[in-house]
């Protein structure tokens, strides 16, 4: 701060004698020395109060200046008045703020005048900084012991000069504590000697998993199937969805999870099942098994030839309980991938067994099948449904078709009848 230069009139002493009787006036005046901001002047004055003397001689005193004796005191002849400029400095000591009027020029002078022992403390700006270069308060952080507790136990930062909780985290835990972690007390708290900081490590990660989606089953009425029977029209398939979960942990232990994304990657296929509504026919009266000659005539072969070829076919046992019917017969199970697969009856298909598929005959029904082209016969058991092609009524296993010599033709014209 720039001070007014004190104005001490050269004619000050002459004023004392201006009106006659100068010797008496001189004897009644006081001789005073004034040192104002380093400039010294000695003069005689009739004023005795310090404030009056300084004002009379042009000394402009600020409220922060140091004046000795004080402005309200009086002086005698030969006394000295000293006026010194002082700088107001704000200090923050471990978070506690104060102001001090400093006569010196540096931060160290301010600390000394405030009675602060800064040995071992962190001082900002540095003690040798000129006060005129200080912008803001002088911060003093004294050494202190701070205890830190958490998932890994406790640890003491001895003699640390950090100011706040965040300062301590930055200095000692910069690589292990992040903004998501919970800290007590709050990060902006000014620390005191003996304080304890508690850390809770919070983290989260995303986990992706695939989950199966069950398929639905739809039942449809089918008048082509007998009551009490069913057929799988469309096989059901499970779907799949991808779920992304956010897993939260506290001090390394899972504390919660949240679904952040869910996407169906494969839609399930509804299983369609046909349920029979067809009434079963009345049981046909039993009839005698046709003579071999009749079968031979129906097949167009001579009786002797028919008997010879029958002797080479599969066993034909079983008493006929129905009349003879004719239709086209196909076969399956030879390299088409069906061997070992499910049948409509629920059992596994065996291409080497003597079985057949029929659209409506009850499962387990035994049927004698005769190749009309050569007279060879085989008895098969119904365990599947089909065929669903016009003009065909039976779909034989590979073994059954082979036994009647119809494999090469693919579809054979056959006579068939139910047997016991």
On whether the pTM is more than 0.75, the answer is: no
- Report pLDDT for 242: 97
Closest CA to 275 of 344, 321, 221: 221
Read off the pLDDT of each residue in 92-110 and give the average, rounded to a whole number: 84
Is pLDDT above 50 for 313? no
Residue 111 has a CB neighbour count (10 Å cut-off) of 23
Identity of the highest mean pLDDT range in 37-41, 322-326, 415-419: 415-419
Could you say which DSSP state residue 136 is in?
S
Q: Which helix (H) or strand (E) holds 184?
A: strand 182-184
What confidence score (pLDDT) does residue 23 get?
60
Kindly tell me the burial class for residue 333, based on how many C-beta atoms sit within 10 Å of its own C-beta (0-12, 13-18, 19 or more): buried
Give me the mean pLDDT over the 280-291 stretch: 54
Q: Three-state SS for 11?
A: coil
**For residues 286-290, average pLDDT:** 45
The answer to whether residue 28 scores a pLDDT higher than 80 is no
Percent of the chain with pLDDT over 90: 48
C-alpha to C-alpha distance for 157 and 151, rounded to whole angstroms: 17
32 falls in which pLDDT band (50, 70, 90)?
Answer: very high
Listed range (1-5, 146-150, 354-358) with the worst mean pLDDT = 1-5
Per-residue pLDDT of 49-66, as tens digits, reads 999 999 888 888 888 788
Rounded Cα gap, residues 237 and 241, in angstroms: 13
In the prediction, which pLDDT does 116 show?
Answer: 86
pLDDT confidence of residue 227: 86
For the chain, count helices (H), then strands (E): 8, 24
């Amino acid at each position: 701060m720039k001070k007014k230069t004190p104005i001490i009139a050269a004619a000050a002493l002459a004023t004392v004698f201006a009106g006659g009787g100068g010797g008496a006036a001189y004897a009644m005046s006081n001789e005073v020395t004034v040192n104002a901001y380093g400039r010294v002047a000695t003069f005689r004055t009739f004023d005795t109060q310090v404030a009056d003397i300084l004002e009379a001689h042009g000394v402009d005193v600020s409220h922060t200046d140091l004046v000795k004796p004080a402005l309200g005191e009086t002086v005698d002849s030969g006394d000295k008045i000293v006026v010194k400029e002082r700088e107001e400095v704000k200090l923050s000591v471990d978070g506690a703020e104060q102001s001090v009027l400093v006569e010196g020029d540096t931060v160290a002078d301010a600390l000394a005048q405030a009675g602060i022992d800064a040995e071992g403390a962190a001082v900002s700006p540095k003690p040798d900084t000129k006060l005129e270069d200080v912008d803001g308060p002088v911060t003093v952080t004294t050494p202190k012991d701070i205890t830190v507790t958490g998932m890994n136990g406790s640890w003491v930062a001895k003699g640390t000069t950090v100011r706040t909780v965040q300062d301590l985290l930055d200095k000692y835990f910069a690589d292990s504590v992040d903004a998501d972690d919970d800290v007590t007390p709050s990060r902006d708290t000014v620390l005191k000697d003996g304080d304890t900081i508690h850390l809770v490590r919070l983290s989260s990660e995303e986990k992706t998993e695939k989950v199966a989606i069950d398929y639905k089953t739809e039942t449809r009425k089918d008048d082509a199937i007998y009551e009490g029977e069913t057929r799988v029209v469309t096989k059901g398939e499970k779907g799949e969805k991808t779920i992304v979960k956010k897993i939260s942990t506290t001090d390394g232990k899972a504390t919660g999870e949240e679904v952040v994304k869910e996407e169906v990657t494969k839609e399930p296929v509804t299983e369609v099942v046909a349920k029979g509504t067809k009434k079963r026919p009345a049981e046909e009266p039993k009839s005698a098994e046709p003579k071999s000659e009749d079968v031979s005539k129906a097949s167009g072969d001579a009786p002797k030839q028919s008997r010879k070829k029958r002797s080479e076919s599969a066993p034909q046992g079983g008493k006929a309980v129905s009349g003879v019917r004719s239709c086209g017969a196909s076969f399956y199970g030879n390299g088409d991938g069906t061997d070992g697969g499910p049948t409509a009856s629920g059992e596994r298909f065996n291409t080497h067994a003597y079985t057949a598929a029929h659209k409506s005959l009850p499962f387990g029904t035994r049927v004698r099948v005769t190749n009309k082209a050569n007279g060879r016969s085989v008895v098969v058991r119904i365990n599947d449904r089909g065929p669903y092609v016009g003009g065909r009524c039976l779909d034989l296993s590979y073994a059954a078709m082979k036994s009647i010599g119809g494999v090469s033709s693919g579809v054979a014209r056959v006579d068939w009848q139910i047997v016991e």
